[in-house]
Amino acid sequence: MGGFNWRRALGWDQHSGHGHRDSSHWWDDSRRRLLPVYHEELLESAIAPTAVTKVALRLRHLIEECVPCELAESQVTMPHSKVITTKVIKAAREAGGHEYRACVVFCLLVNKRWFKHQSICELWDAELHQLRATACEVIAKQIIESEDDFTYLIHQVMLKRYSVMVDGRPTPPVNVIEKAVDLHALRVIGSSGYQKCISFLWKGWLVQDENDPSTFVDYKDKANTSFIAHLDPDRMRAPMYQNATQMLISFIYLVLYTFAINTVNPAGDIDVIEGLLYVFTFGFICDELTKFWKAGYHILGFWTAFNALLYGLLTTSLVLRFIALSHSPGDTDGLRHHFNTLSYNFLAVSAPMFWIRLLLYLDSFRFFGAMLVVLKVMMKESIIFFALLFVIIIGFLQSFIGLDYADDQVAGDTVFIIQAMANAVMGSPDFTGFEKFQHPFGLILYYCFTFVVMVVLLNILIALYNSAYEDIYENANDEYLAMFAQKTMMFVRAPDENVFIAPFNLIELFLLALPLEWWVPKATYERINDYVMATVYSPLLLVSAYYEVRMAADIAANRARGDGDDNTVEEWEQMSADIDFEGDGWNKRVDAAKTNLEVDTAVVEIQKLKEEVASLKDMIEKLCEVVAAKDHVADGGEDNGGGSKDEAELITI
């Protein structure tokens, strides 16, 4: 087993004593953020980064000793594992001592990233390092679920931000919630404590402190049953309300498009419905540009590209409409009608994208969320197929063009060749027309191309899709929880103090920020923003306030019973207080009937056999003593009454 280069793992160039970052490590996928962090320079680690790094190194040594060689993954992940025992978990919990114990879970996630990176650098031990990364998750999950102090777990373990030292500088501070999402740590995300924290963030019961954005505090009015107390525009920061608002706006956007495409204006004029459609589109474009400006390339992804294509089609349609309006209605060459028709054509072809766009906001529902996770993985798997397909298409295309050019020194059938190859890829090959390509070479080449694409590559693609589907649906629940956590953190990491959801961001941009923000005092500007948000979101605030008042009544009832704020009394819990299992003896019968899962059944049987063997050994020793005494008497030794006693013991045995 090869040694691990610490300088490389921590980002130092092994050939230099200076803090030069290894470029291959910097671009490693284990260090890329799935979620951007805004205003990182304003955040500080809750514990000194050097102390956090020392705790992480202690945990690394523990995991290396506990997982010294390659094992079956089930031996590490199974309940009551013989590898990750209660002693190991206790040792990991004590790695930070009493002072730094809050950062242990964060340090385990840091070790998971280190081991993942090491598995890429040292392929000969990749499985061992992947197993150790899994062990980090297993231990972190056990620590989270065994913590009894829920307030400490949420505020200190989960939401406090920590840093480690890299290149002699502290890394940007992140908390466990963000780190687990960034690393796609499914076991940690699927733990009960993590999901409780996500649920509180989603409902807005935990909010960022206005004075310290790195700290989360409890929403002070969550148990307040006053309707007026919940009519607060700041409640729109809660991810649950932001998601609901975006979903409602998305449906309105779709309705506007449906009316616009089904009410064609032959004269080319832009009516109110189309005007609102383009205003919404402009607001969405501004929102995407703002995200890119504040978050950088981290925000780019599939949905970013999808929305960019949709907004590009709508912008093209609007530009063509303006070109049409620039011509008079009675022009003789018909350019106004031509550009107007072309504008509606671009508008019409964007219809499927409008409906697909709904999935972006329906992923908070489990059915759609799990389906989107499967589709996402399938698209990643298909990259292999398209890479092979691209190489093969280029090679055969060059052959066909060469044959065409050799025939008459003019490549005049390029369009026909490309169309025939595209038909073959789509499963509808056309062999007619290739006889003229230097018969029989052109026909043979097309047969070969069709075979490679339809028989080999398409079956590879089907196998990749099937594998991706099976892998995801084995962990469908955890994958959905990870996606939901990522969605929640995207809202929580929002950079704006005032939440103006597109297209309302146009109000903030043109009526508040540009004319007022640069000269109005900050307190006055914030008060104006609150008034505007209260006006814009007034219908939604009435609904949210009604919902929160009902939740506040449930929270007050839970607190009166001594239960947690999110507790729900189920059917089987309604009469549990009226039953005394200890008093009626049921607990004793259950203890006698249940199986001890901490000890293997074979071990239990062996222990019983060991006790029986020990008892048999004692009996044989006593028997030997009695026989020896009897022989002594038979040889003429003195009996002194002892013979009768020995005989009695022999009879007893």
Evaluate whether residue 82 is within a structural domain: yes
Residues 146 and 16 in one domain: yes
Distance CA 315, CA 279 (A): 11
Evaluate whether residue 131 is within a structural domain: yes
pLDDT number for residue 119:
92
CA-wise closest residue to 157 among 172, 169, 140: 140
Residues 25 and 150 in one domain: yes
Of 473, 488, 503, which closes a domain?
A: 488
Q: How many structural domains comprise the chain?
A: 4
Of 339, 362, 385, which closes a domain?
A: 362
Of 445, 473, 488, which closes a domain?
A: 488
Q: Please provide the DSSP assignment of 359-394 as one string.
A: HHHHTTSHHHHHHHHHHHHHHHHHHHHHHHHHHHHH
pLDDT number for residue 368:
81
pLDDT digits (tens, 9 = 90+) for 272-290: 999 999 999 999 999 888 8
Evaluate whether residue 554 is within a structural domain: no
pLDDT digits (tens, 9 = 90+) for 417-426: 888 888 888 8
* Residue 110 burial by Cβ neighbours in a 10 Å radius (0-12, 13-18, 19+): buried
Residues 597 and 79: beta-carbon distance below 8 Å:
yes
Q: Residue 557 is which amino acid?
A: A
Residues 191 and 273 in one domain: no
pTM above 0.85, yes or no: no
Residues 173 and 37 in one domain: yes
Residues 185 and 112: beta-carbon distance below 8 Å:
yes
Cross-strand pairs, 207: 217
Residues 91 and 116 in one domain: yes
Structural domain span for residue 212? 6-218
Residues 346 and 373 in one domain: no
Residues 103 and 127 in one domain: yes
Q: Residue 391 is which amino acid?
A: V
Read off φ and ψ for residue 4, nearest 5 degrees. -95, 130
Within a 10 A sphere around the Cβ of 94, how many other Cβ atoms? Answer: 12
Residues 281 and 313: beta-carbon distance below 8 Å:
no
Evaluate whether residue 502 is within a structural domain: no
Residues 44 and 79 in one domain: yes
Residues 630 and 643: beta-carbon distance below 8 Å:
yes
Flag residues of the chain having pLDDT under 70: 1-42, 213, 295-296, 298, 330-333, 406-412, 437-438, 493-497, 598, 635-653
Which 3 state secondary structure label does DSSP give 170? strand
Evaluate whether residue 235 is within a structural domain: no
How open is the CA angle 542-545-546, to the nearest 5 degrees?
85
The tokens for 540 are 């939604």
Evaluate whether residue 497 is within a structural domain: no
Residues 30 and 151 in one domain: yes
Residues 346 and 464 in one domain: no
Evaluate whether residue 13 is within a structural domain: yes
Evaluate whether residue 232 is within a structural domain: no
Distance CA 16, CA 626 (A): 81
Distance of CA 559 to the CA centre of its chain: 32
CA-wise closest residue to 313 among 349, 277, 263, 275: 349
Residues 331 and 387 in one domain: no
Residues 322 and 183 in one domain: no
Torsion angle of C-alpha atoms 575, 577, 582, 583, degrees rounded to 10: -90
